[in-house]
Structure 1
Amino acid sequence: MRLALPGFSILDRYVAREVISPFLVGVALLTFALVTGRMLKLTEMVVNHGVTLGEVGHIIGLIMPAFLELTFPMAVLLGVLMGFGRMSSDQEMTAARACGVSLYRLAVPVMAFAFVVYALSSYFAFSLRPWANSHLRLTLYELSQSRTTAGLREKVFNSSFPGLVVYIDQMNDADSTMTGVMISDARDPKQQNTIIAKRGILLPDEKNRSITLRLFDGSIFGVEQSADTSHVTSFRVYDLSISPEMAMGVTDLDPEEMSYPVLEQTIHEARAKGKPDYLAETELASRYTVPVATLLFALLGVSLGLRPARGGHSERFGVSVALFFLYYSLMRVSETLAQRGRLDALVAMSLPNVVFAALAFWLFYRAASDRGDQGRGPGDLIWDFVERFERSRQPA
């Protein structure tokens, strides 16, 4: 017995099924591609920091919301292109429109599905991703306390910490004490230091969620390149602070970790002080605007999917990647303008949506009203560009 959803006809369920299947495949493939890009760093954590595979799986689970937030819009575009492309190639779209079913009616299940994905993407942006990012920082801190010494080996120049090279003559893993320590500190290119100490110990700082490398009885040899001077300083006790993000190679993403109320409060407090926090304002604006791309890509996919592609699914996949790359590039430019205060954050982050909304509505109107040339489907400019590019690559 098949469950019938109220208000959804057989046509709606058929179109939705044709779109959802490639959408799920697209989410899996695109997410896997993003995770693969992090595999080198994750492998380094296993090898150099002694992190277990279970802990790596936990870290992947925490960064997955950020990945899915990016893959959802592209997967929707890919799913609609594949689904409508398949139905168009089999003349099902021609048959449906010959029976009086308009493109507006065919787009109803697609846009309904897009609204569901939009709601899910908004939930990720406003709630799940900030929660996951804050827990990721806490997880990295906990790992850094127990695993940092695993990445330090005796009588080896260790480069586990970016900007630091650590040499240890002897190390006791039981109490994290070290003897014969030499450190090259090049985190500040303008002032590079070489630190030599008889003894050292790693101390966790739970309040600041950092690690302190406390050194005893040593000297600091410093070189200032701008002034072309050097200095030598002796010390009895010297503390070198290392953040867990530095230990694990994670950049500072404070606005992305804030919940919606905290983010709004941060923005209002910064405005009240006369020093706007453009990073926080850009993050808040992106949470509103980026999920909207899901709806625009769905509408765009309906129009572009009506025309059969010579290259089949591979060509449609290439077009979806190209369109998403264009959107992502516009988003990065808008993000830069907003973070530098050149434009209001909401206005700047809305620019990619405005461009794609104009393109999507124009192509959909042409397709729905059959205003294209005879025998040519909507989106001819895009498809013709793809075909010309393919011909240019073929040997003469």
Structure 2
Amino acid sequence: MSRSPVVTQNPKPKTQNRKGLIPLLDLLILKEVIGPWVFGVGMFTSLLMAGTFLGRLTEYLSEGVPPLTVVKVFFLLMPAILAKTFPMAMLLAALLSYGRLSGDSEITAVRAAGGSLYRVVRPATIFALGVALLAFGFNEIVVPSATRESLALANEIVKLKNPNEAFPVVKEFTEKGILRLGVVAQNFVPTSQTFEGVVLVPFDETGKLVGYFRAKEMIFRGEKDWRLRGGTTFVAPDGTGHYTSEGEVWPDEAIQIPQTPTDLIKPRDDDFDAQSMAELGRNIAVYKRDKTKTRAAIANYEYGFWNKISLPLAAVVFGTLGSVLGIRNARTGTATGFALAVAIIFGYVTVTNFMNVWARNGVLPPWVASFTPIVLGLGASCLIMVRKNS
């Protein structure tokens, strides 16, 4: 009896195994990256806080400011620091995690199984993109309000430490590019949120001076609801037409102030952390239309506007560059990763400062200056990756 030949079928295990190994490889690398990233956020936050604000906070305590107030200032300053440390921590995490995987020959095993360097780096780049989105959202939603509160609280602390020292305020308000109102106050009392010794200088819709209103106090009753009290005196531009009103009044000739007391006393235009991207854009449009700022000042604001995007994108650059540089043939210590991270961050900060100067001097458009470090970083990452993969 003849036997029929046995036919075996190849189940193509290689294709199935390869498809199954892809998420496992991603999971392996992500587990290695997340821990160092969290550690990096904590480490860089501590370093930046100690180097920038620790002296001021300890000075508050030594001058008798209540500890709870100092703690509140500390937590209000924290979001702006955190937003800057997210990209830095991404660089450190990529260097340390890929350095450890290389030292344990796990990267070599993946390469020997047919995985390309691009495939190995991809999980870190995707995680870095998530960090960039987190940093952008955090910088837009949390940082501006916290920074504004910290500035206002710092001003209140200064006033409380020196109750007899005046806190003058000078503000101007425009509509459609036309100056409509000037506000001058001799002093601000934070405990009652009251402005003392106030002079309002209203202008009509054509920008013509209407007159002067003097009052003992200006108080805030609600959104766009300010009142003058303690006797309000009007003086015409030519010095005639005096009249005085008692009680709480607001002159019809003056537009309502669209800000709160906190908004009036804080230097919003001088701190980009206190403004969201939309607020910066509106202010830039007003400055260009009203011509109240120099060309260099407007360029600096535009540079800060585009940095709201380029700073979070630095996480993608650092994640890609750190993972490529972290893949090494020889085992290296953790100190090497720390040193390399500090060197790269120092180089990045140096380039961004140069770009800021060039933007203000008109050498480069602000958006080009803002994104130049990102382009240089991505270019260096791609070049190193191609060389290592060949």
TM category, shorter: 0.5 to 0.7
The corresponding residue for 1:103 is: 117
The corresponding residue for 2:347 is: 326
Quick check: 1:75 aligned with 2:89?
yes
Quick check: 1:15 aligned with 2:29?
yes
Task: State the distance in 2 between where 1:82 and 1:29 align.
Answer: 14
Q: 1:1-396 alignment to 2 at 5 Å?
A: 9-37=23-51, 38-48=53-63, 50-145=64-159, 147-149=160-162, 204-205=188-189, 253-274=270-291, 275=293, 276=295, 277-308=298-329, 311-367=332-388, 369=389, 371=390
Secondary structure of the corresponding residue to residue 291 of structure 1: helix
- Shift of the 340–66 alpha-carbon distance from structure 1 to 2, 3 Å rule, reads farther
Percent identical residues: 30
Secondary structure of the corresponding residue to residue 204 of structure 1: strand
Q: TM-score, normalised by structure 2?
A: 0.65
Give the Å deviation of 1:114: 0.6
Task: State the distance in 2 between where 1:58 and 1:309 align.
Answer: 47
Q: TM-score, normalised by structure 1?
A: 0.64
Q: Residue deviations 1:119-159, cap 9 Å, x none?
A: 011113333222221121222233334x314xxxxxxxxxx
Q: Unpaired segments of 5 or more residues in structure 1?
A: 1-5, 150-175, 179-201, 214-243, 372-396
Letter in 1 for 2:188: P
Letter in 1 for 2:275: M
Letter in 1 for 2:61: V
Give the Å deviation of 1:252: 7.2
**Contact residue 98 and residue 327 of structure 2 kept, 8 A:** yes
The corresponding residue for 2:12 is: none
Greater RCO (CA < 8 Å, at least 6 residues apart): 2
In terms of Rg, which structure is larger? 2
Task: State the distance in 2 between where 1:134 and 1:310 align.
Answer: 47
Give the Å deviation of 1:93: 0.8
Deviates more, 1:299-308 or 1:84-93: 299-308
Task: State the distance in 2 between where 1:302 and 1:92 align.
Answer: 14
Q: Residue deviations 1:281-313, cap 9 Å, x none?
A: 121011111111110111111211111566511
Give the Å deviation of 1:82: 0.6
Secondary structure of the corresponding residue to residue 306 of structure 2: helix
Task: State the distance in 1 between where 2:187 and 2:342 align.
Answer: 47
Report the number of matched residues.
Answer: 279
Q: Residue deviations 1:259-285, cap 9 Å, x none?
A: 332211111122223555223212101
Task: State the distance in 1 between where 2:195 and 2:340 align.
Answer: 47
- Shift of the 7–288 alpha-carbon distance from structure 1 to 2, 3 Å rule, reads farther
Q: Residue deviations 1:25-64, cap 9 Å, x none?
A: 111111111111222221001112x223322222122222
Letter in 2 for 1:258: Q
- Shift of the 92–292 alpha-carbon distance from structure 1 to 2, 3 Å rule, reads same
**Contact residue 78 and residue 317 of structure 1 kept, 8 A:** yes
Secondary structure of the corresponding residue to residue 109 of structure 2: helix
Task: State the distance in 2 between where 1:53 and 1:8 align.
Answer: 52
Q: Unpaired segments of 5 or more residues in structure 2?
A: 1-19, 166-185, 198-261
Task: State the distance in 2 between where 1:284 and 1:81 align.
Answer: 30
Q: CA RMSD in A?
A: 3.1
Deviates more, 1:291-300 or 1:341-350: 341-350
